[in-house]
Amino acid sequence: MSNHRIKTPCVGLCSTVYGDVVCRGCKRFHHEVVNWNAYDEQSKRSVWRRLEHLLAQVMMAKVEIFDTELLRRQLEARQIRFVAEQSPYCWAYQLIARGARMIQQLDAYGVVLLPEFRDWALPELRDAIDREFFLLSEAHYHRYIAPGLVAGSE
């Protein structure tokens, strides 16, 4: 993330209001959603880095980016919002998330599906990526955050 004011990862689909400890929309933890505006820039960057790392991990298992500049140009031409400072795999996610129903040839964007996913429809792949991203975020929460919350309440 650059030095300009850090925006929220919120995508407007918050599930923490329904009791989820991990938001199904942005994948932040409940306490991060609630306290976001009180976080300093370093804390916000830390959340963004974790989200980027987890999403890139999921995407690297599904796609290969063979032309980063083509992907960037296509996103800009189609006015698909992406964070330029993030991994190109996060950019590829934005492409698939926003264009899954319209994209005919993913390779025209500098991206190809890995062999085991080549027969998947993009909307199906988008949903699988989102589920896996959520599960990784939830696992991270239960492995690293929840034990600290329990220990802190003793």
> Which pLDDT tens digit goes with each residue over 84-129?
999 999 999 999 999 999 999 999 999 999 999 999 999 999 999 9
pLDDT at 17 over 80: no
CA distances for 119 relative to 4, 114, 116, angstroms: 41, 10, 8
Q: Which residues pair with 11 in a beta bridge?
A: none
4-13, 57-66, 85-94, range with the lowest pLDDT? 4-13
* Domain extent listing, the chain: 52-152
Band (pLDDT 50/70/90 cuts) for residue 15 is confident
Task: Describe the crossing of helices 41-60 and 122-140 by its angle, rounded to 10 degrees.
Answer: 130
pLDDT at 46 over 80: yes
Q: What is the pTM of this model?
A: 0.91
The pLDDT mean for the chain works out to: 93
pLDDT computed for residue 152 by the predictor: 58
CA distances for 65 relative to 31, 45, 89, 112, angstroms: 34, 25, 7, 7
Question: Please, which residues have CB within 8 angstroms of residue 62's CB and are 6 or more apart in sequence?
Answer: 113, 114, 117, 125, 128, 129
10-14, 32-36, 44-48, 134-138, range with the lowest pLDDT? 10-14
pLDDT at 58 over 80: yes
* Cα-only R_g, the chain: 16
pLDDT computed for residue 74 by the predictor: 97
